Chains A and B, each alone.
Chain A
Amino acid sequence: MKKISFILFAVSMALVTAFDKNRVQQAVIKLPAGFSMHLFAEDLGTARHIAVTPQGNVYVKLGKLTDGNGIVMLQDGNKDGKAEKKTSFGNFAGTGIAVKGNYLFTSSDSEVFRYTLDAKGVVTNQDNPERIVTGLVNKRQHASKSITLDNKGNIYVNIGAPSNACQEVDRTKGSKGIMPCPILDSAGGIWQFNSAKLNQSYSEGKRYVTGIRNIVGLDWNTETDQLYVMQHGRDMLFQLYPEYFDAKQSAELPSEVMFAFKQGDDGGWPYIYYDHIQKKKILAPEFGGDGKKTGGEKAVDPVVAFPGHMGPNGLLFYKGNMFPERYRNGAFVAFHGSWNRAPEKQKGYFVAFVPFKNGKPAGEWEIFADGFAGIESIDAPGQARHRPCGLAEGPDGALYVTDDVKGYVYKITYAK
């Protein structure tokens, strides 16, 4: 973990400007020097992904309904870094949300909807959005449908595999992997749909990439005109295969990987996983692997590999001018924080940054914003006071981060 402590800037302690009403301690979020953090909104509920219009209106998707509503619009008219106006609507819960052109796109766990935005960036049809995609697989596990759009009128929808490793009986010791994995027909990939066509189902969409277990964080990189995603790697190597893995190896493996995808690519799930220590694609034990045998010759290599189970829920390529030059076109990754590292200490609960040049990493990943959990040593995710989830960039170049425990929205700015 030497890379984490790699610090270009002196780390400053940015005290969050407000604190949990029910707790004594303040949440202290550490940021590089020059950055500051404002508590833009609080107590929204399960704040998942977030999108900002060119006018600066902030839309947050909720994982569970709050007072019957699943979308919150936040407005900061006096530009003091705290939203003073909150408007809630949308009778469905979910994760995905994105702004493109004059539309706000957002998803439930089985459908994608489109709202119309007026010239001020305000939704005009709160009660009757258009249904863009319908009938997607929703079996609870990995059911969230994250979305992103390209500049050619396409929307990309993650359809997570409702499974850990495509075993005959999910997450069960001794149960073999199914070859070929039938889940991949309708899940375990990213599907492309037309963002302007109503009521599309699988048959009208296209399986754009396959072999991905689950994606929550994804972004269309406009610099390289390419889809980038963060995969949630498989769980339970030690619990299912104690003959090949100990608890420490199982906490670290497999890597949480970033893929840069082209149409038709295969991420390799469930047959292989990536091991950032051996720097190899390793055959999954459900399919004859032992932690050493390699596999997945046709699967693409990741562009970045992080330690296991940290739960990358948000991905954003930074396009703005507010942050120093080295951040432009680089990737921010919101790590929700692990659970599958137990009995080892948990890890994540921070926002990482990877510098990029021409669509490729130009340095090691580093921790950008840390301390969301509010405690130093985390045994179980329930102890975390906040968990980073969604990321968005404002028109001024500020970075927004959501928290789905208390429903905080943080706004991170930079001043020389």
Chain B
Amino acid sequence: MLRPGCNCVMVKSRSFVFIILALCTSSIALAQSIADKGKEVYDQNCLACHQVDGSGVPMLTPSLVNAEYVQGDKVRLINVVLKGLKGVEIGGEMYDNPMPPLVHLSDEDIASVLTYVRSNFNNMAGPIKKEEVASARKAAN
């Protein structure tokens, strides 16, 4: 779960604390809704191959669990979704099933699902914004 940086401990004024807490809560709620949206997109588009626990399929589909490919370079990851992937060695293994391009997903859907994957399945990487997806899509076209 992502919790955008907000340090409430140092604040002394009660009303200020209240405002900060309210801001924190709303940003957590926003993050939660992005994650929920991400899970929905995952379940429909990714789960069949990458599985309910992200563990993939031995020899066919790579695992997303604590994965360098997932937590690493954001543009590379966005491009996996936009262009698909096949015949690439991942974590020292080759996988037989191709990943199809999911170019029909909106920038927001891709941002949500990647944010979800990067913060679940033992991954601890930060969110991906829809603007980042849009710029990767533009560069790819």
Contact = CB atoms under 8 A, between A and B. Distances in A.
B98 A170 contact: yes
- Kindly state the interface size class of chain A when it binds its partner: 20 to 34
Nearest to A235: B48
A351 interface: no
Give chain A's interface secondary structure class: loop
A169 B104 CA distance: 13
Interface string B16-54: 000000000000000000000000000111011101110
A142 B101 CA distance: 20
Residue among A174, A379, A380, A405 with most chain B CB within 10 A? A380
A173 interface: yes
Contact of A339 (B44, B57, B101): B57
Residue among A63, A142, A343 with most chain B CB within 10 A? A343
Given A141-B96, A343-B43, A172 B101 contact: yes
A382 B61 CA distance: 10
B104 A380 contact: no
Nearest to A173: B104
A143 interface: yes
A313 to B, nearest CB: 12
Given A140-B94, A339-B49, A339-B51, A171 B100 contact: yes
A236 B52 CA distance: 15
A215 B58 CA distance: 18
A238 B44 CA distance: 9
Contacts of A405: 58
Contact of B97 (A141, A239, A342, A382): A141
Given A174-B104, A339-B49, A140 B86 contact: yes
B96 A140 contact: yes
- Kindly state the interface size class of chain B when it binds its partner: 20 to 34
Given A342-B47, A343-B43, A343-B47, A380 B100 contact: no
Nearest to B59: A63
Contact of A380 (B52, B86, B101): B52
Nearest to B56: A382
A344 to B, nearest CB: 10
Nearest to A172: B100
Given A141-B96, A343-B43, A169 B52 contact: no
Interface string A240-258: 0010000000000000000
B8 interface: no
B61 A339 contact: yes
Contacts of A239: 44-45, 48
Given A140-B86, A172-B101, A173-B104, A380 B55 contact: yes
A382 B100 CA distance: 21
B87 A140 contact: yes
A169 B57 contact: no
Interface in A376-402: 379-383, 387
Interface string A137-177: 00011110000000000000000000000000111111000
A235 B104 CA distance: 20
A235 B47 CA distance: 13
Nearest to A236: B48
A173 B41 CA distance: 14
Nearest to A171: B100
Contact of B60 (A236, A339, A342): A339
Residue among B47, B100, B101 with most chain A CB within 10 A? B100
Contacts of A53: none
Contacts of A340: 48
17 contacts: A140-B95, A140-B96, A141-B98, A143-B96, A169-B101, A170-B98, A171-B97, A172-B101, A236-B48, A339-B49, A340-B48, A342-B47, A343-B52, A380-B53, A380-B56, A381-B51, A382-B51
Interface of B: 43-45, 47-49, 51-53, 55-61, 63, 86-87, 94-98, 100-101, 104
* Ranked 6 nearest A-B pairs via Cβ: A380-B51, A382-B55, A172-B100, A339-B57, A171-B100, A140-B96
Given A380-B52, A382-B63, 7 more contacts: A63-B59, A140-B96, A239-B45, A242-B44, A339-B57, A379-B51, A382-B57
